[in-house]
Amino acid sequence: MTSRPALADLGPIAQLRAGRLGRRLPQLLVGLVLYGVSLGLMVRGSLGVAPWDVLHLGLAEHLPLTLGGALVLTAALVMVLWIPLREMPGIGTVANALMIGPSADATLALVDRPDAFVARLALLVGGVLLCALATAMYIGAQFGRGPRDGLMTGLVRRTGLSIRLVRTALEVSVVVIGVLLGGPLGLGTVLFALAIGPLTQAFLPAWIVPLAAAAPGQDEAIVSSAIR
């Protein structure tokens, strides 16, 4: 029986030394671009967006920012919170912070909101599915977790609370703040929250790239909880 592929918890230098860069780097970049596309599709569906995007769109109501600009700003602020949590950013963390926002903005520039409900529902469902696939791709490339996932795992380590509790508290908090700022809340927000974990877990094993130099520590927490 072959062993199940695992996610290694590596620092940035070790990520580069772990080999298979010809597979891992393109997978990382394509996954991040597709992640931004998925967010744009959900916005154009106008049936609700991912929990963090409720906050991003709420910020865009009050600041001279696009959705992508709000994504980049929030990622940078979240990474500042990594410092007291002693989280180590990886190459994928920085790429995540810089690439998803522009990709989302490009999608919004190219895709219009359809009038038909069925078409909008298709954009929502397709966006959630694509987001799960994109998450599996960039996490499976083994270049580190995204800024928001690092905040979650850092809080888990520092507080001793469960991943489920910390993640739920974070996402409820950003949704409440986002709604207060004027961000949209709808069916898509609930669908995303319920479906993204199981879908990502289903896609992930096929996209984890085995490393030439495996790290002694493995971080299985991201398998079922990675969002960005």
6: pLDDT strictly greater than 60:
yes
Whole-number Å distance between alpha carbons of 31 and 10: 19
- Can you give the pLDDT at residue 3? 59
Could you tell me if residue 195 is inside a domain?
A: yes
Distance (Å, whole) CA 82 – CA 155: 9
Q: What confidence score (pLDDT) does residue 49 get?
A: 94
3-state secondary structure of 88: coil
Top-confidence residue, 166 or 98 = 98
Is residue 11, in this structure, part of any structural domain at all? no
pLDDT at 131: 94
Q: Answer yes or no: is pLDDT of 226 > 60.
A: no
User: Each residue of 31-40: b (16+ CB within 10 Å) or e?
Assistant: bbbbbbbbbb
**Residue indicated by tokens 């709000």:** 70
Query: Using CB atoms within 10 A of its CB, is residue 228 exposed (0-12), middle (13-18) or buried (19+)?
Result: buried
Q: CA 224 to CA 228: how far, in whole Å?
A: 12
Q: Is residue 222 part of a domain?
A: no
Establish if 88 belongs to a structural domain.
yes
> Is residue 17 one of the residues assigned to a domain?
no
Residue 113 domain boundaries: 22-208
Distance CA 210, CA 140 (A): 9
Q: Per the structure, how many domains does the chain have?
A: 1
Residue 227: pLDDT band (50, 70, 90) is: very low
* Higher-pLDDT residue of 18, 27: 27
CA 227 remoteness from chain centre:
4
Is residue 49 within 8 A of residue 43, CB to CB? The reply is: yes
Residue 4 included in any domain: no
How long is the chain? 228
Band of residue 164 on the pLDDT scale cut at 50, 70, 90? confident
Instruction: Give the integer Cα–Cα distance in Å for 191 and 47.
Output: 10
For residue 8, what are the β-bridge partners? 218
- Percent of the chain predicted with pLDDT > 90: 58
Question: Which amino acid does the sequence have at 61?
Answer: E
